[in-house]
A and B are shown apart, each in its own frame.
Chain A
Amino acid sequence: MTMTTSRRPRQSLRQIFLAPAIIGVLSGVGLIAALVGDGVWDGLSWVTLLVPIVLYAGFLAVGRRRRA
């Protein structure tokens, strides 16, 4: 594969999957935490499972703002 001129260099698989992997692990923690106990465990579950929701809203908002 030849390098083509592009704005951004090609990323390695590690670069591509680093963030998704961290979010995936957090989701896993969140799914299990609320099963383990109540109180703090429920809180941990809410916070970790909110991460993908907040990121989704955040990235869309950032993308939209750049256009304006």
Chain B
Amino acid sequence: MTAGTKSLRRWSWVHKWSSIVCTVFMLMLCITGLPLIFHDEIDDLLHESVKAADVPAGTPMADLDRIVASGLAPFPGQVPHFLIWDRDDPNAMLLSIGKTIDANPVDNRIVRVDAHTGSYLDSPDVTGRFTYIMLKLHTDMFAGLPGKLFLGLMGILFCTAIISGIVVYAPSMRKLKFGSYRSDRPRIVRWLDVHNLAGILLVVWTLVVGFTGVINTWADLVLKMWQYGQLAEMTMQYRDRPPPAHLTSVQNASDVASRAVPGMTPSFIAFPGTIFSSKSHYTVFLRGNTPVTSRLLKPALIDAETGKLTDTRDMPWYVTALFLSQPLHFGDYGGMPLKIIWAVLDVLTIVVLWTGLYLWLRRRKTSSAVAPATTRAAQPAVTT
């Protein structure tokens, strides 16, 4: 056996086993991911929501403290965690509220408030929604952090399968022109051609979406790293202080932050004591105005007792990497045409997975029938 065949045998072993382990989960991820590309459209279609008042351009925003107060009014005893500017609807603000300040924000209720009139709109329970169920299956299969990390591991195997797939693609194509589809041959040959063609055409897209998906599974860990790293550093001198007796105004925090970071606009505000802030600060997260910079949030810490700026810094690289990996995974950064392209590429990925699964099952049957198949290593033995 030459060194070449030996290493090829090794690569096809890697391709086979990385695929076998991850395929079922990847199929689930591709299927649940498909409706998630259009989750806004699906939610709009399936669920009524109270519309915010249509106002002429330039109408001033309602005072943020009033927005928070009217969002909380129907829920006495609950506390605000985050105040969020709705990306998709500039006429609405979202208030994320929990039972206590240290309650898990995953269980928070989202209240919509009119951004201009400051009046309460609605607070739908999203947990029964189709898109919510798809999202939970897609991110952690209802199994929390372990589920997330497990899917991340499957994503790493998927990337391994893609890279080893590129290696085993070469011997398979030695005698074939690029894009060959031998429609007059048996299904196993035809599906091998489809598998090779779709696989190699999609290689960059599947690698990018696969790997950014893996990065997204580490979001909780990245947040923890930021909390114990940069956030702890920025709030060092507050460590031993008791939490403020009275909170200063949210509107003031937003104004101070906007002045401190010119050229950026607030994206959301984390209340003191929540996971995105310290017990003594509001953290105003500001965003830029281009497709990239609108994803790169910059925190400004506002002392919740004095209303003054404590510090503002750019996020460390690992948070920036997470922020950038989000649009590249979701495909939500190039309008509806990009979403549709994302969906078609997702379906083609299902084709690659499905044909791959079929090829493996068929070969397993053949090779157990023809005992020690000597050409198993160069699996594309079916090419001729």
Contacts and interface: CB of A to CB of B under 8 A. Distances in A.
B173 A11 contact: yes
Nearest to B5: A1
Contacts of B181: 59-60, 62-64
Contacts of B179: 19, 55, 58-59, 62
Nearest to B4: A1
Contacts of A8: 175-177
Interface in B296-330: 324, 327-328
Contacts of B202: 52
B183 A36 contact: no
A11 B337 contact: no
Contacts, number: 110
B290 interface: yes
Query: Among the interface residues B184, B292, B327, B341, which one has the most CB atoms of the partner chain A within 10 A?
Result: B341
Nearest to A17: B170
B197 A56 contact: yes
A49 B291 contact: no
B169 interface: yes
B205 A64 contact: no
B204 interface: yes
Contact of B328 (A7, A10, A31, A42): A31
A8 to B, nearest CB: 5
A63 B180 contact: yes
Among B174, B176, B344, find the residue whose CB has the most chain A CB atoms closer than 10 A: B174
Nearest to B209: A31
26 contacts: A8-B176, A16-B169, A18-B178, A20-B200, A20-B201, A20-B203, A24-B203, A24-B204, A31-B204, A31-B208, A34-B338, A35-B292, A35-B328, A37-B290, A37-B291, A42-B334, A49-B205, A53-B348, A56-B197, A56-B348, A59-B180, A59-B197, A60-B194, A64-B181, A66-B184, A67-B183
Contacts of B194: 60
B214 interface: no
A21 to B, nearest CB: 10
Contacts of A34: 291, 333-334, 338
B121 interface: no
A55 B341 contact: no
B182 interface: yes
Contacts of A58: 179
B64 interface: no
Given A34-B333, A35-B333, A52-B201, 13 more contacts: A9-B175, A16-B169, A16-B170, A20-B203, A27-B203, A35-B291, A35-B292, A36-B292, A37-B290, A42-B334, A42-B337, A50-B341, A53-B341
Nearest to A13: B170
